[in-house]
Structure 1
Amino acid sequence: MSKDDLVLLEGKVVSVGKGGTFTVEVNGGHQVLAKLAGKVRRARIRVALSDEVRVAVSPLDPKHGVIVYRSR
């Protein structure tokens, strides 16, 4: 699966878990378990509770994703 196959969803961080995992509630009302993308970690971007984020989700497994962008 390539990067082009991922679906980008906008959402809000609902809870912060152990090991850098976040629960994100996307606009459709669904919750996605997400972790930080490598570029976000390398840039040392902090993601906190109630931040607006963009999550890349695979169409094969829509319950897991990767946070690729944090809104200001």
Structure 2
Amino acid sequence: MVNKELVKKLLQQLDKNGDGKIDVNELKMFLDREKWPVSREKVLDFIKLYDRNQDEMLDLDELCTVLAE
């Protein structure tokens, strides 16, 4: 079980536009900054694996699912 409050803090750090979700650009920016170069297409493919509502973004619940695995 993941700590939802910690995941919420992570989401707030990654969510650069403040919409409460992580989009492909925000996740790619984080990965690039952490020296994990991945193509935009691969980042989007990853998001789609966990994107239950198919908006091509990860919300808090979807991010919790990612981190629980």
Greater strand percent: which structure?
1
TM-score with structure 1 length normalisation?
A: 0.23
TM-score with structure 2 length normalisation?
A: 0.24
